[in-house]
Amino acid sequence: MLNLILFGPPGAGKGTQAQHIIEKYGLVQLSTGDMLRSQIAAKTELGLKAQQIMANGDLVSDEIVVGMIKSIVHNDKQAKGYIFDGFPRTVKQAQALDSLLAEIGEGISQLILLDVNDDELKARLLNRGKDSGRADDQDVSIIENRIKVFKDQTIPVMEHYAKFNKSAKIEGVGSLDEIFERIISVIDKL
Ligand code: AMP
């Protein structure tokens, strides 16, 4: 299996690039943000729990997101591999993911960081907020909190995989195609 973590701060372009990667490599995309938004739309108990936390730009509990990922990884035995988008966001989540994959005799092949500076991130998110309908993309202080949460709680995930020589960083600014080429060159070396 080819199991990738597409990593980066909010607004780095993970979702957009994930779409292209799944087309080229036939992987299954797992976006915890998308899964949580579906739960909110369906007004489930889990969605109601997550809603306010997401609106503030904080992280929902490790148990909730790990549980969502677990149910898919355990039930989708046909997948050629996964692309994790927006997950793991804490070292605890990374450890849980490693154990989950080990249970099926697999592991993470590579984490790829899309590196984008803060000013560019803020501009991209505010722009996306104009038509995404996402409240967390429309308020500068919420955006700044999300970037801070990334630095404080999520960057250590990259260090976790660097210990196993599995972290790569690419420049996340440029045209969509240029960035995609950079990602391909990392994947094709695996
Ligand atoms: P995203 O769509 O990845 O930007 O995620 C939107 C929001 O969902 C985040 O700001 C968090 O509140 C929540 N979220 C998504 N993925 C996770 C995760 N792996 N761990 C905790 N919270 C998450």
Say if pTM beats, i.e. exceeds, 0.85: yes
Per-residue pLDDT reduced to its tens digit, 107-130:
999 999 999 999 999 999 999 999
20: tokens are: 């292209």
Q: Which fold has domain 2-187?
A: Rossmann fold (3.40.50)
Give 77 Cα–ligand 1 centroid separation in angstroms.
Answer: 25
Give the Cα separation of 158 and 169 in Å (integer).
10
Atom index in ligand 1 nearest the CA of residue 93 equals 19
Per-residue pLDDT reduced to its tens digit, 24-82:
999 999 999 999 999 999 999 999 999 999 999 999 999 999 999 999 998 887 889 99
Average pLDDT, stretch 4-25? Answer: 97
Residue spans per domain, the chain: 2-187
Are 90 and 153 in contact, with CB atoms under 8 Å apart?
Answer: yes
Residue 37 annotated among the catalytic residues of the structure: no
Residue type, 88: P
